[in-house]
């Protein structure tokens, strides 16, 4: 049952990528036009983040990378991880276009430690609304 849910969930997120990339809600063009622009999620989290400049961070469930590149704009060297190949490709295009210090890896969040390594990040970030998609939060 869990594998069925994850397959359907991934297909749904894969399908959303073009719409999200074109959506005014994600504001991809604004990242190119304004080097200081940060995503709404990262702006919301600024008081909780503290200074992240110089840190090595990972953004789990990064989707199309807007929060990841926003964290990079705050001075962190970021890695974004997402299970959707189209989302990761879109994130890579965004980071390359704006020259963000961000790389992106396609993998399931449950495989993050194996894929990215253990203990290599100073900051682990996931945005609002990301945890509710996980079928097993303890894992």
Give the pLDDT confidence of 26-77 residue by residue, as tens digits.
999 999 999 999 999 999 999 999 999 999 999 999 999 999 999 999 999 9
Note whether residue 139 is domain-resident. Answer: no
Assign residue 34 the CATH number of its domain. Answer: 3.40.50.150
> How many domains does the chain divide into?
1
Residue 58 lies in a domain: yes
Range of the domain at 61: 2-133
Domain annotation covers residue 107: yes
Sheet-wide strand order for 56-60: 102-106, 77-82, 56-60, 123-125
Q: Is residue 42, in this structure, part of any structural domain at all?
A: yes
Confirm whether 128 is domain-assigned: yes
> 23-32 — which CB contacts under 8 Å span 24+ positions?
26/64, 26/66, 27/66, 28/64, 28/66, 28/94, 31/66, 31/69, 31/94, 31/97, 31/98, 32/97, 32/98
Give residue-wise pLDDT tens across range 67-103: 999 999 999 999 999 999 999 999 999 999 999 999 9
Using the predicted structure, report yes or no on whether residue 132 has a pLDDT greater than 70.
no
């Amino acid at each position: 049952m869990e594998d069925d849910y994850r397959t359907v969930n991934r297909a749904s997120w894969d399908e959303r990528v073009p719409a999200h990339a074109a959506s005014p809600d994600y504001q991809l063009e604004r990242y190119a036009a304004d080097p200081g622009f940060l995503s709404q999620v990262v702006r919301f989290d600024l008081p909780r983040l503290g200074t992240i400049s110089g840190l090595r961070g990972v953004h789990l469930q990064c989707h199309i990378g807007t929060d990841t590149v926003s964290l990079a704009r705050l001075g962190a060297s970021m890695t974004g991880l997402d299970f959707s190949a189209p989302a990761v490709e879109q994130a890579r295009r965004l980071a390359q276009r704006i020259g963000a210090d961000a790389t992106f890896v396609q993998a399931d969040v449950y495989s993050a430690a194996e894929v990215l390594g253990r203990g290599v990040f100073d900051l682990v970030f996931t945005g609002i609304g990301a945890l509710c998609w996980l079928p097993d939060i303890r894992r």
